[in-house]
Amino acid sequence: MRLDYDRIAEGYDAQPYRNKSADPDLAEFLRARPDLGLKGPSVLDAGCGTGNQLVANRPCWPHARFAGLDPFRGMLRSALSKSRDIAWIRGDGADLPFHSATFDFAINQFSFHHVMRKRRMLGEIRRVLRPGGRFVMSNIDPWAMADSPLYAYFPEALEADRRDFMKPAAIEEGLREAGFPDVVSSSARLPVVQTLRQFAGAVRERASCSQLLTISDEAYQAGLRRLGGDLSRPGGAEGKLESAVVLIRIRADAR
């Protein structure tokens, strides 16, 4: 595994960006599928973590059948504490423990890079979707974020991310090979402006950033030393860092 989330499960939800609102992709899908309104859709979150997305969805679609799958017991314990009417299942996204054609809608949010057998997982997602179903993947795109200060101070994190993240075009290809004829992708570049002091405060909370947990302690400490040197320069702490987070969204429809 890229990272053992059982080690950090207890504090995983401490950052405000872990909060979720109702999934707009599910809402869009259901608007186009009124036939699912009466019986309620079956929805899978493959790589659900602590379950925040499905928990946010539940009040909006009370008749839906939700299942969250994750390989880490600690994450699922946290999910279970939030909702007991969602099926929380420990399993591997590359070997989904479900019958074929079980779900109408599936998501994978910001976790595909943790999957070792990525192309196999894409095939498994297709297998468990019903005809007319939809899969939506969301993630960052490190290949388009080389200007990130995280990578400037911790270059080993960029090496790890480029090893573990598939390029968006490769994911699209993998989805088509898995049997999704209709694949649409988009990206959004979100500007980030912060001071060096703010950035330093964030990366010193190492457990809040999975990218910093994937590198060695030596590489992490070397990055902190580089950062400390720049902070000690006159005016360095208030120097502006301008970068961007690039988000990708890939939608694949099954026939």
Q: Which domains does the chain have, with CATH numbers?
A: 5-253 (3.40.50.150)
Q: What is the pTM (predicted TM-score) of this model?
A: 0.95
The tens digit of pLDDT for each residue in 172-182 reads 999 999 999 99
List, in order, residues 6 or more apart from 157 with CB less than 8 Å away: 150, 151, 211, 212, 214, 215, 219
* DSSP string over 166-182: PPHHHHHHHHHHHT-SE
Residue 17 has pLDDT above 80, yes or no: no
- At 186, the pLDDT band (50, 70, 90 cuts) reads very high
Short-list 41, 49, 138, 137, CA closest to 88: 49
| Three-state secondary structure call for residue 39 | coil
- Comparing 1-5, 16-20, 45-49, the range with the smallest average pLDDT is 16-20
Buried b (16+ CB within 10 A) or exposed e, 156-174: bbbebbeebbbebeebbeb
Burial group, residue 98, by CB count within 10 angstroms (0-12, 13-18, 19+): middle
Q: What's 147's DSSP letter?
A: T
The tens digit of pLDDT for each residue in 81-115 reads 999 999 999 999 999 999 999 999 999 999 999 99
The tens digit of pLDDT for each residue in 200-231 reads 999 999 988 889 999 999 999 999 999 999 99
Q: Cα-atom radius of gyration of the chain, to the nearest Å?
A: 19
Sign of CA dihedral 31, 34, 38, 39: negative
Question: Token pair 């909370």 is at which residue?
Answer: 205
Report CA 252 to chain centroid distance, whole Å: 17
Whole-number Å distance between alpha carbons of 57 and 61? 6
CB 39 within 8 A of CB 63: yes
Residue 15 has pLDDT above 80, yes or no: no
Percent of the chain with pLDDT over 70: 100
